[in-house]
Structure 1
């Protein structure tokens, strides 16, 4: 019986050792040395990756290509804004003072600012590959990246402003055309612009050709048809009409040319207001498309620039093809200010090992236990 008793005692002791009070478990979980959650560890550092020098050269090549495309596109958009101002804008300025400046300005402002920033970025990216350390160039590129992001936000605002302008109220355009028509007989500038407008857009009047009926647009001293009703200027005639242009007594049936207004009207039936608004919206949507493409290219350029800037910020120079460089998009350097070589030879044994992160002291050597000293 004694062996059974002794085994029972031993089993009791072992079971007592395995039991842990609930209060002790709670106290262990609440100790300050408890391991923090994984989310907090990830949130302390930005998402980064290690790249080789070959990848750095690839980023540089991508940046060069996209930057060249951006500069060509910027110059093309500047020429487009000048062309809009000189042609369509001149008609809008005749109708409403300053109206023709809005669309070209909305296109030109973000493009000019971005062009200046892009050229500056190209200059300082070239300096990153110099033989000496360039901390100032790295810092300037960082602020240029921030400035380009601000211009992208400005471009988005410009897109919404353009849409609001072209799809907004157009009552002032309709009234402006009528005012310009009233000056047709007394102002050579308005006569020339109205004639150009009606010929180029194949339109007549503000809303319809009969807008001219109530306007004294001809020179009474030189015109022998001033008493004729329903007449319009010759610029109202359709270019593609197969019949002779009847722009006097338009609403009357003519026997000479077998003219019937309902069947062979030879003047443009559409008013210039509708044609101008249609053209204005077409130009506005073209500007919006260009600006969206412009933003996409800016993003494609900024990503490799940011990678180059972050990789360069470790040593402030690219001088060793055997190094790896840490790159990231958002946040600060997760590994300190120095880049790390791929492999580093030990001075004594000649063995290779990964180099330590700069700025961190090596861990202390633990003491040798007494039982191992003998």
Structure 2
């Protein structure tokens, strides 16, 4: 059985929602990859008694705890004092820690405030964790069954300290058997549809199945235990992909990471040495923003007006047949020297419909390549930002499906 690990975030700004606790999410991913079973994320504000009580609870139930925050120089930074009181320790002045803090200020030609002396007070018996990226040293200690590491809450400092100081210690102190997380990434299909499609597939009891709906994709996650058969793993993943079909654009965890939708398209476009021009309507420039810096994107044009677009490319505006108009615009754009591929996006509805979260719009996407026209039609609803984002993703996904499968 894998050792258990808890993540403990300290700070009033976290429990009141002023700061999003990205540290806990990042640390959890790191811990799971190492082979820990992450059992809890807990956040506590700047209350000494609450901190003391939680530390004692964690010491009784967890094998390891990573605590972030509360190591600063001000009166609301209570972590070191809470640790000392929770475990019956005294705070001792660490000369080396103090010298490092003073050097931090000296190197910046700034006087060190007297309050920073507090950061050199560490619980007796703890091991200092040197911090070359800020003023707050971390520290570690073991109490009962639990090994604790206390590090600053500043994300940049926290990540450096974990990767360079804490992770090597964890690897040597614990017997870890990391599982394998395989993530199947899809676009254009929802969580409930995915679950329904794969319902007939028998997921072994030792394999954890989960779903994550993000802004730009939906991820089907399979966590395989240590030592799971590579053949059985590949077979299960293959069965799921077969049920999800062309909605799958990438798989992370079997070999190299696929990345997001744009990363997948970028590799395919550069491998084929293709170029692209785009007409945006519903996505309102977001498609171009998602592809910023991509060498294959020669240009994009945004205009909500079908009549203006038709006039610009000297084609008729078929308001009753947007797909036909999109094809004519794409053809005219490609003939004008606008790249190997032309991608045109049109949609039904006026501005009031587009802004009304209760009114759907219908997207018409056309991709013109050397092989001919490819097209897709989707209905999108929700707030304006969702419509805009979905419009960008679905247009890009038409390009991705062609590049990966040469079919839609």
- What is the TM-score when the length of structure 1 is the normalising length? 0.20
Greater RCO structure (CA 8 Å; 6+ sep): 1
Q: Compare the two structures and name the one with the higher helix fraction.
A: 1
- What is the TM-score when the length of structure 2 is the normalising length? 0.19
